[in-house]
Amino acid sequence: MKTKKYCIFFILLCGAWNLFAQQRPLPDSIPPAPADTLTFSTDSLNLALDSLPPPLFSGVVFSKDSLDAPVEYEARDSMILDVEDQKVHLFGQAVVKYTTITLQADYIVFDWKSSIVSAEGRPDSTGQLAGFPQFSEGEQTFEAKRMRYNFKSRKGMVYEVTSQQNDIFIHAEKSKFISGAVTETDTTANDVICSHNGLFTTCTADHPHFGIRAKKMKIIPDKMVIVGPSYLEIGGVPTPIALPFGFFPIPGGKQTGLLFPNDYEYSDQWGFGLRGVGWYFPINDHLNLQLRGNIYPFSGTWGVSATADYRKRYKYSGGMTINYDSQRRENNEGTFDTINSFGLSWRHNQDRAAHPTRTFGGSVNIQTNNNQQRRYNDAQSVLNTQLNSNLSYNKTYPGKPYSLSVSMNHSQNAVSREMTINFPNIQFPVQALYPFKRKERVGAERWYESIVLRYSGEAANRFVTTDTTLFTRATLDNAQFGVRHTASTGTSFKVLKFFNLNPGINYNEVWYLQSTQRNFIPGLETRDTIIQGVLRTDTLRLGRIEQFRRSGFTPYRTYSASLSLTTQIFGTMRFKSGYLRGLRHVIKPSISFNYSPNYNNPNLGYFQSVQDSIRADLIRTYSVFEGGIYGGPPQSERQMALSYSFNNIFEAKLRGKKDTVDRKIKLFDNLVLGGSYNFAADSLKFSPVTAAGTARFFKGMTTMSLGAAFDPYIADEQGRRINISVWQDRKQLLRFTRADISFNTSITVGKLRSLLQGKPEEVVEDLRTQQTGGGNKVKEEDFLSLFENFSLNHNLVMGWRTDNAGNAVFDIATNAINVQGNIQLSPNWAINVGNFGYDFRQRGLSFPSFGFSRDLHCWSLLFNWQPTRGTYNFSLAVKPGTLDFIKIPNQRNVADPLRAFE
């Protein structure tokens, strides 16, 4: 039976009737009211009251303490109305609702005289208590074994309660709940929960694995938890870690506050320290800021960082991190050195809907003094020696054939510490123009209609420096600036049906504001030696060469003309039976003629001469554009070269026993042979013949690249080409000079299944995302599933060179194997291999990094070890959340081992 009443109206009606029945008898002249005029319906209540004789209710006065809203209640099993005691008993999934308050329990008693509701559970069919009270008001909810609540005072008493505030779960023996309802006079009231013998934790288990135990506790929802004397409890066992009092913020939204340290550690070199302690600033709805620091107070080592994240919906998003690190280390002489480093990273992404014609975005990653390798020990941070940045702004003009691009790019080598920054890079490309194309074409296209004009203009500024001298005046003084204009025209048309003829003209003009100048400064340098009692004077140097940069507008211009003829030749062999069903050979021959003028002409002034500092009879030539951002003109005589190339593609068709259609595979993607002949050269007219090719095996797991060079001329004792052909010398067409071959193999379980079982490969975009934080746990199907997130890479590069004596010398340049990934042994155990490799050429390990992790429900156990670096990290910590500062760390920093990174 399910009933629903409006209790407040029933109380008023019954109370008024009893009052007049006992104190004032009904007059005889008043007829009894019809039975159907009394109803408890909300819609007809006012009509029912108005239909009674006025004298009957003329003395009734409503109490000021009465509730201001109806109380709705219902029950699944049964309901008992106790009129004498003015109580309602609800049994079985009972619910009581009053304004924003909802109470659910298996048994509820509502006392309408005192406005107190009581709730508790009842034994189920097995005799176990069930249906415990669940109380909610707005966003505040909690569960308890039993409770009492007063609707008038908005206060309640809860026993054995469990409540949740954000990620905090509060378990208390007894709690007093005070609802801070907003009124006309107080719009800042807050709910308050005062608890006795409470435990608050982030563990979601019914019996928490850890928590902070306190006799007295005060909770202000969405603000803070205030505790008196408290101690840490793990597994129900008290620990000696105690606090006299504590404030734990639990903000409901973005709130400024303390950021607890990421690590507490002890270093043999630096002593005790805190890493990552700081403060959080929610500046506005679109921007927040974190200021963190690393502090080792007993050694003078410290570091600061600022991280800002921003986002505006449908506009942009990004983040920036700036850090400065100062490490104090003991050197071999027993004194201390201070090593300072700086790092800047910034990413910005513009939403596609932000603007139809403008885009801006990219990333910046700049470091000084190996900042990343000094602060972190993981394989990715240590082995990544190449840093790059790209930032660009692009603007298109609707209806116009041109566009604008402004960019910044940066490259940095962490080993050599060389840094190149190109900023700004300005590009102004123009779309291809067809000036002779008819607007309304009638008939076939004429050959001149395909003539195309192209133009692009660009300007760039370059800084070449090191990471230790980046912020110095010398970096600005050595900046290189240039402007380049490129224009070309060309066309393409058919000749003799099967050939494509492509004439073209190219013109380049480059402007510089500086040029390179060299002067010979005489100054004889000699050395005296005594040999068998005889004094001998040797001349070491005739002088020195002074080089400097001269300011002034310095342009150069180059132009060339070309004419090429291309076609394609197809050769096919078919087989009616067997595994091999066909072979196909595609040849793409190309013959071109190129012309360029003599740029060594002294009238142009592109090249200058200077006396050699050692040999008096030697004059050296140099380009005044050396070091220019766009280089300089080629140091060559007039070129009239006939070039040739043959691009070969080999394909095959296969059909297995289970196949119904042929499979096409590529045997060689490209095998290119090429060379040239210069009619204008006075000697060495033939260029070396080169060959290069690429092939893939085992469904792309292995890529082979090869290259070779053959020279039609012989070489002298120093290895320099001389104008004597190999045919004249030894009756051979070509002389072998070099050959290279490389094999790059990348194996994953997905690729193995694709190769052996024909299943499509499940592509993993980034293995590192699955090595940290557990990643996606692979469903175990077979033994190989354990290695689903593993990647094995092998790189082999070998080559042959001819020495000055003409002998071929074999050399293995690279032979290294590398493994990375993780093994999910169980839902909670994982073995992580950040990196493990062996260099067969160097005969040593290449930065091994191992670790394991254990999921302990609300805790996590983590261990990482880098043996060659001498560092490790052990951590038993609470999972990320409000209480994640509770951890047991132990680690060895990069500065601690004797072979510390320098």
Count CB neighbours of 347 within 10 A. 16
What are the tokens at 88?
């309602």
Strand segments, DSSP code E, in 85-228 are 87-98, 101-111, 116-120, 122-123, 129-130, 134-137, 140-143, 146-150, 155-165, 168-178, 192-201, 210-220, 224-227
What is the distance of C-alpha 266 from the center of its chain? 30
Count CB neighbours of 446 within 10 A. 12
Backbone angles phi, psi at 148, to 5 degrees: -135, 140
Please provide the size of the chain in residues: 902
Q: Residue 787 has what DSSP assignment?
A: G
Q: Are 706 and 692 in contact (CB under 8 A)?
A: yes
C-alpha span between 726 and 720 (Å, rounded): 14
DSSP string, 744-766: EEEEEHHHHHHHHT-PPP---S-
C-alpha span between 202 and 213 (Å, rounded): 13
- Residue burial 42-52, b: 16+ Cβ < 10 Å; e: rest: eeebeebbeee
What are the tokens at 648?
């070969």
What are the tokens at 791?
């990647």
Count Cα atoms within 13 angstroms, Cβ side, for 76. Answer: 8
Please name which of 472, 467, 476 lies closest in space to residue 342, comparing C-alpha atoms: 467
Task: Respond yes or no on whether the N-terminal peptide bond of residue 503 is cis (omega within 30° of 0).
Answer: no
What pLDDT sits at residue 761?
A: 46
C-alpha span between 857 and 834 (Å, rounded): 24
Grouping H, G, I as helix, E, B as strand and the rest as coil, residue 380 is helix
What are the tokens at 750?
């997905």
What H or E segment, with its residue span, contains residue 424? strand 418-433
C-alpha span between 564 and 865 (Å, rounded): 60
What pLDDT sits at residue 63?
A: 59
Cross-strand partners of 741: 706, 798
Q: Are 567 and 500 in contact (CB under 8 A)?
A: yes
435-467 pLDDT, tens digit per residue, is 998 888 778 888 888 999 999 999 999 999 988
Q: Are 685 and 709 in contact (CB under 8 A)?
A: no
What are the tokens at 793?
């890479």
Cross-strand partners of 162: 143, 171
β-strand 735-748 against 871-878: which pairing, if any?
Answer: unpaired
Grouping H, G, I as helix, E, B as strand and the rest as coil, residue 532 is coil
Grouping H, G, I as helix, E, B as strand and the rest as coil, residue 825 is coil
Please name which of 870, 888, 409, 384 lies closest in space to residue 629, comparing C-alpha atoms: 409
Q: Are 390 and 407 in contact (CB under 8 A)?
A: yes
What is the distance of C-alpha 621 from the center of its chain? 49
Instruction: Report the sign of the C-alpha dihedral through residues 509, 510, 515, 520, in that order.
Output: negative
What pLDDT sits at residue 781?
A: 57
C-alpha span between 325 and 322 (Å, rounded): 10
Strand segments, DSSP code E, in 223-380 are 224-227, 230-234, 237-243, 246-249, 257-259, 263-267, 271-281, 287-296, 301-312, 316-330, 336-350, 358-368
C-alpha span between 862 and 853 (Å, rounded): 5
Please name which of 372, 300, 377, 295 lies closest in space to residue 336, comparing C-alpha atoms: 300
C-alpha span between 113 and 66 (Å, rounded): 9
Q: Are 217 and 170 in contact (CB under 8 A)?
A: yes
Grouping H, G, I as helix, E, B as strand and the rest as coil, residue 582 is strand
Amino acid 840 reads F
Task: Give every residue of the chain whose pLDDT is below 50, as ranges.
Answer: 1-52, 56-58, 182-187, 760-778, 898-902
Q: Are 432 and 489 in contact (CB under 8 A)?
A: no
336 Rama class: left (phi>0) / alpha (psi -120 to 50) / beta:
beta
173 Rama class: left (phi>0) / alpha (psi -120 to 50) / beta:
alpha
Amino acid 807 reads N
β-strand 702-711 against 859-866: which pairing, if any?
Answer: unpaired
What is the distance of C-alpha 504 from the center of its chain? 44
163-201 pLDDT, tens digit per residue, is 888 888 889 999 888 876 544 444 456 778 899 999 989
Count CB neighbours of 796 within 10 A. 19
What pLDDT sits at residue 748?
A: 83
How many helices (H) and strands (E) the chain has is answered by 9, 54
587 Rama class: left (phi>0) / alpha (psi -120 to 50) / beta:
beta
What pLDDT sits at residue 700?
A: 81
Strand segments, DSSP code E, in 597-631 are 607-611, 619-623
- Please name the residue ranges forming H helices in 761-809: 768-771
What are the tokens at 687?
């260029």
Instruction: Report the sign of the C-alpha dihedral through residues 719, 725, 730, 733, in that order.
Output: positive
Grouping H, G, I as helix, E, B as strand and the rest as coil, residue 475 is helix
What are the tokens at 186?
């107080």
What H or E segment, with its residue span, contains residue 22? helix 7-23
Grouping H, G, I as helix, E, B as strand and the rest as coil, residue 472 is coil
What H or E segment, with its residue span, contains residue 812? strand 808-824
The residues, ordered by sequence, that sit 6+ positions from 117 with a Cβ below 8 Å of its Cβ are 96, 103, 108, 109, 110, 111, 148, 149, 151
C-alpha span between 463 and 481 (Å, rounded): 9
Please name which of 227, 252, 232 lies closest in space to residue 242, comparing C-alpha atoms: 232
Grouping H, G, I as helix, E, B as strand and the rest as coil, residue 96 is strand
pTM score, whole prediction: 0.69
Which of 54-63's residues contact partners 24+ apart within 8 Å by CB, and which partners?
55/27, 55/30, 56/20, 56/26, 56/30, 57/16, 57/20, 59/20, 59/24, 60/16, 60/19, 62/12
Grouping H, G, I as helix, E, B as strand and the rest as coil, residue 115 is coil
C-alpha span between 213 and 708 (Å, rounded): 75
Instruction: Report the sign of the C-alpha dihedral through residues 227, 232, 235, 237, in that order.
Output: negative
